Amino acid sequence: MNWVTQWWLPEQAGVWNWQYLQDEEMERLHYASAAEIDPEKRGELLKQLQTVVDESYTCFMLGHLPRPVLYDKTKVVPAMLPNAEPRTEKFKKA
């Protein structure tokens, strides 16, 4: 998620940060999550970061809405991109 949140950092105010959002907690969480290599700890930091962004009321996420994909693993071996977009042409029989 850090590639998404980098644009809201204080140094981006007036450049990409058109909301002029300058939140110290968001900046701290951005850099802490970028440096964390443990996936579970990083995920928790990113959840906290998302909460700070949501509570700022300066923007809301549109690009990463949930994309549920259902399949019967006894019949299908799915193929997906990292963002969970299904690649149906690469599905195979189980």
Beta strands (DSSP E) in 1-94 are: 76-77, 92-93
| pLDDT tens digits, one per residue of 6-28 | 887 888 888 887 777 788 898 99
| Average per-residue pLDDT for the chain | 83
Q: Are 36 and 45 in contact (CB under 8 A)?
A: yes
Q: Compute the distance between CA of residue 25 and CA of residue 8 in angstroms, rounded to an integer.
A: 12
| pLDDT tens digits, one per residue of 66-82 | 667 777 878 888 888 87
- pLDDT at position 32 is 95
Long-range pairs for 5-10 at CB < 8 Å and ≥24 separation?
5/30, 5/49, 5/53, 6/30, 8/53, 8/58, 8/59
- pLDDT at position 81 is 86
| pLDDT tens digits, one per residue of 35-52 | 999 999 999 999 998 888
